[in-house]
């Protein structure tokens, strides 16, 4: 997906007229560019703060040299570059299709035949990479773009020559956890060779065939450990014996799961070469000379076509700071509104997100100036699966804004602007763009879940627009060093901390059972990892079990845990799985402490578990406002405004907006609030006592620094709020 250029973006780079932004990351920005001949290119430009650092410039120069040495129809070619420019840049041929990661996330796993064709073409690309004396070192789904005629391998940013000394430290893990090889995971640089890329390719193909990474999800440390010690999870791949195999007694050469296991062998010597892998996969998928292979499902092909149509419909060239002509003849004001940049001061304001607009009427009579209404934005799921939580946040935020506007001595008026992302990562960027491009929006509350938050954090950070999350909670949200993110709740992993304390207080931590349900992916991994660590540190190691995603029959694993003599039970996963486990435990007569975290505080748990849910204790980052004495005025105001009791997250959203208002009022001068960038810094340094918790943050990364964890228990078929969770034994 492309985004408009920002006012501070350059107009051109190395003869490429810039048309739009394709993305931004830690090292730089990627633009959609057009050459004088009309061809399109993806132009990657290093950020200025890195360009002067010799290590970054050397790495970028190495990327250029590496990419130029690879010649393959399945690798994106370099078309131009200047690693020695003041702002080093690299241009590659533009591929409008989605990445493999995006295609699988949106449309599900690919058919076996598609995976085989994908593997053959990428093996051919890696064969060229290795023939050039290079190791790619970051073969992953996000680095493969899909086109109708085949995939394209991209991003040689961490590739290095096999016979050269790496610039990076020998004990530094390079690559993407979950798709790197065991030798990468253990930073065994001397052992890294072409076989490392084959392991990563095996993981990529496993992801394409199953829809999940072969070593699960979770924290980087957990992924690295499983890569080195665990067998890959290839569940969901049907056996695919090729017809016409010359060696029917050797299933490793004809069945995709067995072939992937060879690629994912822990010992590099046991993996096939790229040439051998390509030859094996060539058996049934040879392409006629001059012909074309239909290798992708229809829905993915349709997605490629839609993306191509969208990206190739070139946007109008937006004026930028560096190329706005001073003597350009303005269009007639009677035909359209004009953006007036009357002076250098106004230009600076526009760059900071507070553009000055002059609206002229059709009769050319200047309108009377009116007081500007600044805004708080809400990006939330207002129409999707989590719309109950999203709407509660929107209502709590709106109540806070309305109460602010009712003050007598307010420094300015505020309004609330919403953007519905439907709770999906696909819709989230457009919703964020709506709020980012509105210069009146000073801060944004949301999004509702981790997937949507992860999809837009980079965009909000690029715009330096403060983003306050009260419901999304994964550790992955703070993995990057975002500058404008403010996490208004403890992480999902932190919600596991009180469970050990609770069990110790109940004298039920002698042998706790810990079940990780991989259906919940990262959420379950974080919950299980923290619980296992805490219990071990407190001298009560858990009896752990892990079940594959989609497991319906929980009976065998529950029976095994009961035979092991567990004295309590912790479930790491979502509400439907918890309900299934609850019924199994109840049928076995197990009534000892049973715990889980806030994903299970869901009506589905009560409906599906019924009486078996009684007694379960659950941790959360939110309160039940009706059960908190200090929130009585809020609850009454909410009922008066909306005719119903506030739902979960309504009070947290109300608090977060009042936190923003506190800092806005303190920093407002002459009726003008602080700029976005300044407000982000102020919020990270702030302290605020709300009705739900005390808010404070780590200034360096915006993570929540308070406690703010609560307990709920199922009683009488409902969730009863117990209050703050214990933090000390």
Q: pLDDT tens for residues 254-302?
A: 489 999 999 999 999 999 999 999 888 864 444 444 444 578 998 888 8
Q: What is the pLDDT of residue 97?
A: 85
Q: What is the pLDDT of residue 310?
A: 62
* Averaged pLDDT score across all residues of the chain: 83
Bigger pLDDT: 671 vs 356: 671
- What does the alpha-carbon distance between residue 489 and residue 656 come to, in Å, rounded to a whole number? 10
Among residues of the chain, what percentage have pLDDT more than 70? 82
pLDDT band at 337 (very low <50, low <70, confident <90, very high): very low
- Show the tokens assigned to 151: 């995939």
**What spatial distance separates the first Cα and last Cα of the chain, rounded to whole Å?**
50
| Crossing angle between the packed helical segments 256-263 and 194-210, to the nearest 10 degrees | 140
pLDDT band at 160 (very low <50, low <70, confident <90, very high): low
- What does the alpha-carbon distance between residue 608 and residue 579 come to, in Å, rounded to a whole number? 6
φ, ψ for residue 307, nearest 5 deg? -65, -40
- The DSSP secondary structure of 324-373, one letter per residue, reads --TTPPPPPTTTS-EE---SHHHHHHHHTT---EE-B-TT-PBPPP----
Residue in the block written with tokens 């947290």: 652
E strands, 573-670, in order: 594-596, 617-620
- What does the alpha-carbon distance between residue 30 and residue 21 come to, in Å, rounded to a whole number? 6
Q: With 60 as the cut, is the pLDDT of residue 367 above it? A: no
pLDDT band at 371 (very low <50, low <70, confident <90, very high): low
Q: With 90 as the cut, is the pLDDT of residue 566 above it? A: yes
What is the average pLDDT across 101-119? 92
- What does the alpha-carbon distance between residue 490 and residue 475 come to, in Å, rounded to a whole number? 10
Q: With 50 as the cut, is the pLDDT of residue 369 above it? A: no
pLDDT band at 479 (very low <50, low <70, confident <90, very high): low
pLDDT band at 509 (very low <50, low <70, confident <90, very high): low
Q: For residue 343, count other CB atoms closer than 10 A to its CB.
A: 10
pLDDT band at 525 (very low <50, low <70, confident <90, very high): confident
- Show the tokens assigned to 212: 């999940």
pLDDT band at 415 (very low <50, low <70, confident <90, very high): very high
pLDDT band at 388 (very low <50, low <70, confident <90, very high): very high
CA atoms within 13 A on the CB side of 685: 8
Q: Is the pTM of this model over 0.75?
A: no
Among residues of the chain, what percentage have pLDDT more than 90? 52
Q: Which residues are catalytic?
A: 138
Q: With 60 as the cut, is the pLDDT of residue 169 above it? A: no
For 622: left if phi > 0, alpha if psi spans -120 to 50, otherwise beta; the answer is: beta
What 3-state class would DSSP assign to 579? helix
pLDDT band at 165 (very low <50, low <70, confident <90, very high): very low
What 3-state class would DSSP assign to 130? helix
Q: What is the pLDDT of residue 151?
A: 94
**Nearest to residue 416, comparing CAs of 375, 362, 355?**
375
Peptide bond into 266 cis (omega under 30): no
Domains with residue ranges and CATH for the chain: 12-53+73-93 (3.30.200.20), 100-308 (1.10.510.10), 340-369 (no CATH), 374-490+629-697 (3.40.50.2300), 494-620+712-724 (3.40.50.2300)
Q: With 80 as the cut, is the pLDDT of residue 117 above it? A: yes
- What does the alpha-carbon distance between residue 182 and residue 268 come to, in Å, rounded to a whole number? 9
Q: What is the pLDDT of residue 660?
A: 97
- What does the alpha-carbon distance between residue 337 and residue 31 come to, in Å, rounded to a whole number? 28
Bigger pLDDT: 653 vs 163: 653
The total number of residues shown for the chain amounts to 729
pLDDT band at 305 (very low <50, low <70, confident <90, very high): confident
Q: What is the pLDDT of residue 25?
A: 63
Cα angle 489, 491, 496; round to 5: 120
- Show the tokens assigned to 716: 């009488």
- What does the alpha-carbon distance between residue 633 and residue 543 come to, in Å, rounded to a whole number? 46
Q: What is the pLDDT of residue 6?
A: 80
For 86: left if phi > 0, alpha if psi spans -120 to 50, otherwise beta; the answer is: alpha
- What does the alpha-carbon distance between residue 717 and residue 601 come to, in Å, rounded to a whole number? 12
Least confident of 425-429, 450-454, 527-531: 527-531
Q: With 80 as the cut, is the pLDDT of residue 491 above it? A: yes
Bigger pLDDT: 232 vs 28: 232
Least confident of 28-37, 384-393, 491-500: 28-37
What 3-state class would DSSP assign to 134? strand
E strands, 171-268, in order: none
Least confident of 56-60, 236-240, 326-330, 372-376: 326-330
Element (H, E) at 454: helix 450-463
């Amino acid at each position: 997906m492309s985004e408009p250029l920002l006012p501070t973006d350059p107009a051109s780079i190395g003869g490429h007229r810039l048309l739009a932004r394709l993305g931004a990351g830690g090292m730089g920005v990627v633009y959609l560019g057009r050459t004088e001949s009309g061809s399109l290119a993806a132009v990657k430009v290093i950020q200025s703060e890195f360009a002067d650092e010799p290590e970054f410039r050397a790495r970028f120069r190495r990327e250029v040299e590496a990419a130029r040495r690879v010649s393959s129809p399945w690798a994106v070619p370099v078309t131009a570059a200047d690693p020695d420019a003041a702002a080093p840049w690299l241009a590659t041929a533009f591929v409008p299709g989605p990445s493999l990661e995006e295609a699988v996330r949106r449309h599900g796993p690919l058919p076996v035949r598609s995976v085989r064709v994908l593997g053959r073409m990428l093996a051919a690309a890696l064969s060229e990479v290795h023939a050039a004396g290079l190791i790619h070192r970051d073969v992953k789904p996000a680095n493969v773009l899909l086109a109708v005629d085949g995939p394209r391998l991209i991003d040689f940013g961490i590739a290095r020559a096999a016979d050269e000394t790496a610039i990076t430290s020998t004990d530094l893990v390079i690559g993407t956890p979950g798709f790197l090889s065991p030798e990468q995971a253990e930073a065994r640089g001397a052992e890294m060779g072409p076989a490392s890329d084959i392991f990563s390719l095996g993981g990529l193909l496993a992801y394409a065939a199953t829809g999940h990474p072969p070593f699960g999800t979770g924290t980087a440390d957990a992924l690295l450990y499983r890569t080195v010690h665990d067998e890959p999870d290839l569940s969901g791949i049907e056996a695919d014996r090729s017809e016409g195999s010359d060696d029917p007694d050797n299933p490793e050469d004809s069945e995709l799961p067995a072939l992937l296991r060879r690629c994912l062998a822990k010992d590099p010597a046991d993996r096939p070469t790229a040439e051998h892998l390509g030859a094996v996969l060539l058996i049934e998928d040879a392409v006629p000379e001059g012909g074309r292979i239909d290798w992708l499902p229809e829905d993915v092909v349709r997605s490629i076509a839609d993306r191509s149509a969208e990206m190739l419909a070139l946007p109008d060239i937006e004026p930028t700071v560096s190329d706005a002509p001073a003597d350009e003849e303005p269009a007639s004001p009677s035909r359209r509104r004009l953006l007036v940049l009357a002076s250098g001061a106004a230009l600076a304001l526009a760059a900071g997100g507070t553009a000055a607009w002059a609206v002229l009427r059709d009769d050319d009579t200047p309108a009377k100036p009116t007081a500007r209404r600044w805004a708080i934005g809400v990006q939330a799921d207002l129409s999707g699966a989590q719309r109950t939580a999203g709407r509660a946040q929107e209502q709590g935020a709106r109540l806070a804004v309305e109460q602010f506007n009712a003050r007598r001595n307010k420094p300015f008026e505020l309004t609330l602007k919403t953007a519905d992302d439907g709770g999906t990562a696909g819709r989230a960027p457009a919703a964020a763009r709506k709020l980012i491009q509105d210069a009146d929006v000073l801060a944004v509350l949301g999004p509702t879940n981790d997937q949507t938050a992860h999809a837009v954090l980079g965009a909000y950070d690029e715009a330096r627009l403060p983003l306050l999350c009260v419901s999304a909670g994964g550790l992955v949200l703070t993995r990057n060093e975002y500058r404008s993110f403010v996490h208004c709740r403890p992480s999902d992993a932190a919600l596991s901390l009180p469970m050990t304390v609770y069990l110790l207080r109940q004298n039920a931590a002698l042998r706790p059972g810990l079940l990780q349900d991989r259906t919940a992916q990262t959420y379950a991994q974080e919950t299980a990892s923290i619980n296992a660590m805490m219990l071990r540190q407190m001298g009560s190691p858990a009896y752990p079990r892990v079940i594959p995603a989609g497991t319906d029959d929980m009976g065998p694993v529950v029976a095994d845990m009961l035979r092991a003599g567990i004295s309590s039970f912790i479930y790491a996963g979502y509400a439907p799985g918890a309900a299934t486990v609850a019924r199994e435990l109840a049928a076995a007569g197990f009534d000892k402490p049973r715990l889980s975290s806030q994903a299970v505080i869901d009506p589905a748990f009560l409906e599906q578990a019924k009486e078996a849910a009684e007694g379960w204790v659950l941790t959360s980052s939110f309160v039940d406002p009706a059960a908190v004495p200090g929130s009585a005025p809020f609850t009454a105001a909410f009922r008066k405004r909306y005719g119903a009791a506030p739902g979960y997250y309504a009070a947290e959203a109300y608090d977060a907006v009042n936190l923003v208002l506190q800092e806005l009022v303190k920093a407002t001068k002459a009726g003008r609030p602080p700029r976005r960038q300044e407000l982000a810094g102020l919020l990270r340094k702030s302290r605020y006592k709300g009705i739900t918790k005390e808010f404070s943050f780590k200034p360096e990364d915006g993570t929540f620094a308070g406690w703010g964890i609560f307990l709920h228990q199922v009683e009488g078929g409902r969730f009863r709020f117990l209050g703050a969770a214990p933090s000390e034994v």
